[in-house]
Amino acid sequence: MRHVLVREDGDAVVVIGQASHAWLSGQLARAWGGDAVAPVAPREEVCLAAEQHDVGWADADLAPQLDAATGRPAPFTAVARPYHLAVWGSAARRLLSQSRYAALLVSLHGTGLYERLGEQPPEVAGAIAAYLGAERALQARLSAGLDPAEVARNRALLRCWDSFSLALCLPHLPWRLEGVAAAAGEATIVLDGAGEAVTVDPWPFRDDRVELACEGRRLEGRFNDEAVLHATLAEAPWVALRWALTPAG
């Protein structure tokens, strides 16, 4: 599932919107390159898809759901399935006026999330099937004339950058990125470190050092009223998150 990212910060949390996490994914895409990994091509379209892959959440994350169990914004693991489906059902279409290719990758990313789910309760299984059917029809139209192998490679790269960004934001380190599209076959990339300093092995970037940034808001307290949560979050102080990536060893 996807919704705001909630990162512990002492007695508070840093709330990171999906669009901010996606911005970080776009920075990874633009830095990607070198002999070890598959090329990013068509470059601008793929980088746009990485940066906008959670575009459907841009409005929703301004007013996140309240998690009654914690009194804080609901993290992406606690969002109701119908709500999640409604957001993803509009995501790819938000990019259609910018780039057919980027819209296709965003649609494929969304359906990939649902294709990896196990059996679901009957009350949501029908809604999931309808979503997948509509997206696959859209994908068939958007992919006409494109190289299926190239699209599959870029879909895998988008999934890699998404996981990479989540590992940094939450944080989840050490972290293994499996099945990364490499120059020859697939590779496993390992992230490790603490705070802003993160090592990456093997090194998948063009430059010897990569600096990344995104933003969140530091939210103090706990809430039992969603409207109060939204008003407090809208005035919460901004937090700049920074990372410096270097090769392991």
Q: Residues 139-197: pLDDT tens digits?
A: 999 999 999 999 999 999 999 999 999 999 999 999 999 999 888 889 999 999 989 99
Please report the pLDDT score of residue 78 as a whole number. 64
In the predicted structure, residue 123 carries a pLDDT above the cut 90: no
Q: Where are the chain's structural domains? A: 5-247
pLDDT exceeds 60 at position 228: yes
pLDDT tens, position by position, 47-102: 999 999 998 888 888 889 899 999 999 876 666 777 778 778 888 999 999 999 99
Percent of the chain clearing pLDDT 70 (strictly above): 97
- Looking at the chain, the whole-number percentage of residues with pLDDT higher than 90 is 73
pLDDT at residue 85, as a whole number: 85
Query: Around Cβ 86, how many Cβ atoms within 10 Å?
Result: 14
The pLDDT value recorded for residue 61 is 84
Model-level pTM? 0.93
The pLDDT score that the predictor gives to residue 90 is 86
